[in-house]
A and B are shown apart, each in its own frame.
Chain A
């Protein structure tokens, strides 16, 4: 590459792209220059001076403009008179960096000695103790004794609520400003700042409400000391007592990679989740998660989780054994013949949905998904979705991001962060069409409006105008993010098709970093659709514009069946009426209360499986907690029911099921647990081995997942525009109000820490 710069660091030659900072260049050759204020995801500020190194440049002869050479012919290096911050100095050709000199060692020791003069050193009661960059760097580089008087330490307030979710310990703060910069540069919620200066300098919030941001929890991860703690985790456990399991967030289509930190609790009778932490995946969430992902975990060990099968006797649901319950379900299914309908919720794992669909197909019954609207367009989103190797980090100058009818921050928070950076930091153009304003509107180059419910109409009528006005044909890439608020199924489908037509008309269909990005409601909307549509024979030959099983789009909730089988269905209106209803659930939901049989399912934390994110990345999650009571994984329940109907499948577990799934669902062919479990070193390196560098993020050892190709990518010749007609909005559509992040629901309701943030359903704007 032409713009590589060569330098040596402690005698080791290294070549890095122009513009790389010395601290990152050193990282490339595993020379860890200690830092506090520097963070690879934030702009450098050079505030803490921990990264001082000795930097020299080739001496240049002013006359010849050539490097001066000594008698031996070696280039003469002129070192700077003083040490320089490695975190603010970009590399240059021929640069010589020394980090192992006595001068550098002494400088590091001095900085640490100063930092510790006003640090309480209350590590034994500090939440960061054990994973603290200040501890680590003090051990590595600090002086063993201080010349300062312990009693002269500067004392300050210790439990300052910055909001109801984050607490500040003022005396632990080392004023690195990572938290301020995260809120300013990444989250764009300017709720933290410094106040005063010198010894009086401290972090404040003066916002109204105070520290209120969907991303605030991330500041506690990147804070290099125990100054910031979450209301959820503070004083709950010591980091070294925690077991960690690689998992996935289930709350939105982003599919953030997370780590579940668990600990054995005798009181609650087993392991429980103590905290949820980000796990680095530069293609998905980098090192961030939103506060919903961080705090909505309490449902996993909620008192009222279902632990025992229940059957209705004399009008009342009473506890039963699995044998009794399964026997009963088997009998009723046998008697029902083909009058069977299954509805699968979109948080259910691929393997589970696959077995449910397999059984329903064998029975010749009907199948649907909940919520049902995404089933109307998930095939379009898949056909024209982003390319298999797309990465939001690639988007920048020359690219256009079009957001239609969706609120990215509320519906896919981490996509919001990443798309915002593509626009604000890297110069992509943002065009928004929506019936109302969203936070994303702050960065828009152009804003278009329509009446609520008219999104599809607007796209159908205005595409040509939009293409001309926003020069969409000249864009390097066109990424289209869209949502389905205030649309019914047919309108949502028309919207997706209209947007796919836009991709085709502008020549972007099938390009790697172009395509549709749907704002689905949950983590596995695409996966559940793929798996149950694929199991439908009508959908088996699914070209770019192939017809998906009509079953999935015709609302089965309007029909009546002998037996309805509801697996993780949140919305009661998605359930068909039936003579006999079986509900598989975590909680005694409204639907479960009405059921004839209630089967307790395991949550994502208690079993393994896969989800397919909104951008079609198939990823694994692992078992973090032991099973709860008698609850069982949904796939096990489906297999046991099938057994009662004479189908003995003999699946040993999710990996086994996935192999079958990948074999029978064309889009998933080539995928396997082996493929999606592959991991590779992430850049910039952060996480466990590198705590001081990136904070308390976890390394990704569980797999980066893999995205299957879009139809347009697979078969460019088969790409044809859809018929562009868009139906009139309907009342049912208009009633589908926007979905704020903290909308009320069975899971969020069990996280008391978020209680005051929950938006009741009727208040949704």
Chain B
């Protein structure tokens, strides 16, 4: 249970909002849940809903809207490649195809060894240095097939 395991963190988040507005704490609480469970599981969503006193449907909707909340278990490394229009103009779509081939999975999937998850995402505000990805939230700019390979090797070793 999130409430027991992360009591202090939850209390800290809730303290930032007036009690009658505690539903505003939904996003920070979902991050805590995601940290704890690795993704926003159904159970986690219901727990968060209960903590902030709203319907689980509303929390599920937020999880569904933001790509940084995962609804399925993800690999150890989550690679979010931007394929929005400006990046696509700089070859992001071809780059995604390469990533898929190299990892042997489709965007949205996780490698069988549980190491990598590949996602395509909307603009992450780094169009000037496309193709661009976030790997576990860390930016990697001006990616090429070679630099992607190197990155995977590094990560596989760690």
Cα–Cα distance between A196 and B122 once the two chains are bound (Å): 13
The answer to whether B46 touches A204 (Cβ under 8 A) is no
Cα–Cα distance between A189 and B57 once the two chains are bound (Å): 10
The answer to whether A205 touches B65 (Cβ under 8 A) is no
A177 CB to closest chain B CB (Å) equals 11
Let me know if B36 is at the binding interface, CB within 8 A.
no
Let me know if B45 is at the binding interface, CB within 8 A.
yes
Interface string of B42-62 (1 = CB under 8 A from A): 100110000000111111110
Let me know if B64 is at the binding interface, CB within 8 A.
yes
The answer to whether A206 touches B54 (Cβ under 8 A) is no
Contacts of B42 in A (CB 8 A): 206
B41 CB to closest chain A CB (Å) equals 12
The answer to whether B65 touches A197 (Cβ under 8 A) is yes
A441 CB to closest chain B CB (Å) equals 14
* B49 nearest CB neighbor, chain A only: A206
The answer to whether B46 touches A193 (Cβ under 8 A) is no
Let me know if A190 is at the binding interface, CB within 8 A.
yes
Contacts of A323 in B (CB 8 A): none
The answer to whether A206 touches B65 (Cβ under 8 A) is no
Contacts of B65 in A (CB 8 A): 194-197
The answer to whether B60 touches A204 (Cβ under 8 A) is yes
Contacts of A190 in B (CB 8 A): 54-55, 57-58
The answer to whether B46 touches A195 (Cβ under 8 A) is no
A280 CB to closest chain B CB (Å) equals 29
The answer to whether A191 touches B55 (Cβ under 8 A) is yes
Cα–Cα distance between A656 and B11 once the two chains are bound (Å): 71
Let me know if A208 is at the binding interface, CB within 8 A.
yes
Contacts of A191 in B (CB 8 A): 55, 57
The answer to whether A204 touches B61 (Cβ under 8 A) is yes
The answer to whether A195 touches B54 (Cβ under 8 A) is no
The answer to whether A208 touches B60 (Cβ under 8 A) is no
**Total contacting residues, chain B, CB less than 8 A:** 13
B108 CB to closest chain A CB (Å) equals 11
Q: Counting chain A CB atoms within 10 Å of each CB, which of B57, B59, B65 scores highest?
A: B57
**Which residues 49-85 of B sit at the A interface, judged by CB distance below 8 A?**
54-61, 64-65
A160 CB to closest chain B CB (Å) equals 14
Cα–Cα distance between A207 and B65 once the two chains are bound (Å): 17
Cα–Cα distance between A545 and B46 once the two chains are bound (Å): 54
* Of A189, A197, A206, the contact of B60 (CB 8 Å cutoff): A206
A2 CB to closest chain B CB (Å) equals 37
Contacts of A197 in B (CB 8 A): 65
Let me know if A380 is at the binding interface, CB within 8 A.
no
Interface string of A191-217 (1 = CB under 8 A from B): 111111100000011111000000000
The answer to whether B64 touches A204 (Cβ under 8 A) is yes
Interface string of B117-144 (1 = CB under 8 A from A): 0000000000000000000000000000
B71 CB to closest chain A CB (Å) equals 9
Cα–Cα distance between A173 and B72 once the two chains are bound (Å): 25
Interface string of B17-46 (1 = CB under 8 A from A): 000000000000000000000000010011
Cα–Cα distance between A193 and B54 once the two chains are bound (Å): 13
Main SS of chain A's interface residues?
Answer: loop
**Total contacting residues, chain A, CB less than 8 A:** 14
A663 CB to closest chain B CB (Å) equals 54
B65 CB to closest chain A CB (Å) equals 6
The answer to whether B61 touches A207 (Cβ under 8 A) is no
A206 CB to closest chain B CB (Å) equals 4
B62 CB to closest chain A CB (Å) equals 9
The answer to whether B56 touches A207 (Cβ under 8 A) is yes
Contacts of A193 in B (CB 8 A): 57-58, 60-61
* A195 nearest CB neighbor, chain B only: B64
Cα–Cα distance between A190 and B57 once the two chains are bound (Å): 7
* B56 nearest CB neighbor, chain A only: A206
A449 CB to closest chain B CB (Å) equals 21
Contacts of B58 in A (CB 8 A): 190, 193
Cα–Cα distance between A206 and B47 once the two chains are bound (Å): 13
Cα–Cα distance between A464 and B30 once the two chains are bound (Å): 49
Cα–Cα distance between A208 and B45 once the two chains are bound (Å): 12
* A191 nearest CB neighbor, chain B only: B57
Cα–Cα distance between A189 and B65 once the two chains are bound (Å): 21
Contacts of A206 in B (CB 8 A): 42, 45, 55-57, 59-61
The answer to whether A194 touches B61 (Cβ under 8 A) is yes
The answer to whether B57 touches A196 (Cβ under 8 A) is no
Cα–Cα distance between A205 and B56 once the two chains are bound (Å): 8
* A189 nearest CB neighbor, chain B only: B55
Cα–Cα distance between A39 and B56 once the two chains are bound (Å): 26
A653 CB to closest chain B CB (Å) equals 50
Contacts of A194 in B (CB 8 A): 61, 64-65
**Which residues 147-205 of A sit at the B interface, judged by CB distance below 8 A?**
189-197, 204-205
Contacts of A208 in B (CB 8 A): 46, 56
The answer to whether A207 touches B64 (Cβ under 8 A) is no
* A207 nearest CB neighbor, chain B only: B57
A110 CB to closest chain B CB (Å) equals 21
Contacts of B55 in A (CB 8 A): 189-191, 206-207
Cα–Cα distance between A192 and B61 once the two chains are bound (Å): 9
Contacts of A207 in B (CB 8 A): 55-57
* B46 nearest CB neighbor, chain A only: A208
Cα–Cα distance between A208 and B60 once the two chains are bound (Å): 12
B151 CB to closest chain A CB (Å) equals 28
Contacts of B59 in A (CB 8 A): 206
Cα–Cα distance between A347 and B125 once the two chains are bound (Å): 66
The answer to whether B46 touches A196 (Cβ under 8 A) is no
Contacts of A195 in B (CB 8 A): 60-61, 64-65
Cα–Cα distance between A618 and B5 once the two chains are bound (Å): 60
Contacts of B46 in A (CB 8 A): 208
B11 CB to closest chain A CB (Å) equals 25
Cα–Cα distance between A206 and B55 once the two chains are bound (Å): 8
The answer to whether A205 touches B64 (Cβ under 8 A) is no
Cα–Cα distance between A224 and B65 once the two chains are bound (Å): 24
The answer to whether B56 touches A196 (Cβ under 8 A) is no
Cα–Cα distance between A34 and B28 once the two chains are bound (Å): 41
B60 CB to closest chain A CB (Å) equals 4
Cα–Cα distance between A208 and B59 once the two chains are bound (Å): 13
Contacts of A189 in B (CB 8 A): 55
Cα–Cα distance between A192 and B57 once the two chains are bound (Å): 6
Cα–Cα distance between A205 and B58 once the two chains are bound (Å): 9
* B59 nearest CB neighbor, chain A only: A206
Cα–Cα distance between A205 and B64 once the two chains are bound (Å): 12
A559 CB to closest chain B CB (Å) equals 53
Contacts of B54 in A (CB 8 A): 190
Cα–Cα distance between A190 and B54 once the two chains are bound (Å): 8
Contacts of A192 in B (CB 8 A): 57
* B42 nearest CB neighbor, chain A only: A206
Contacts of B61 in A (CB 8 A): 193-195, 204, 206
B44 CB to closest chain A CB (Å) equals 12
Q: Counting chain B CB atoms within 10 Å of each CB, which of A191, A192, A193, A207 scores highest?
A: A193
**Which residues 86-137 of B sit at the A interface, judged by CB distance below 8 A?**
none
B68 CB to closest chain A CB (Å) equals 13
Contacts of A204 in B (CB 8 A): 57, 60-61, 64
22 contacts between A and B (CB under 8 A): A190-B55, A193-B60, A193-B61, A194-B61, A194-B64, A194-B65, A195-B60, A195-B61, A195-B64, A195-B65, A196-B64, A197-B65, A204-B57, A204-B61, A204-B64, A206-B42, A206-B45, A206-B55, A207-B56, A207-B57, A208-B46, A208-B56
3 tightest A-B CB contacts, nearest first: A193-B61, A195-B64, A206-B60
Instruction: Supply 18 further A-B pairs (C-beta < 8 A) apart from A206-B45, A207-B56.
Output: A190-B55, A190-B58, A191-B55, A191-B57, A192-B57, A193-B57, A194-B65, A195-B60, A195-B61, A196-B64, A196-B65, A197-B65, A204-B64, A206-B42, A206-B57, A206-B60, A207-B57, A208-B46
Residues of B in contact with A (beta carbons under 8 Å apart): 42, 45-46, 54-61, 64-65
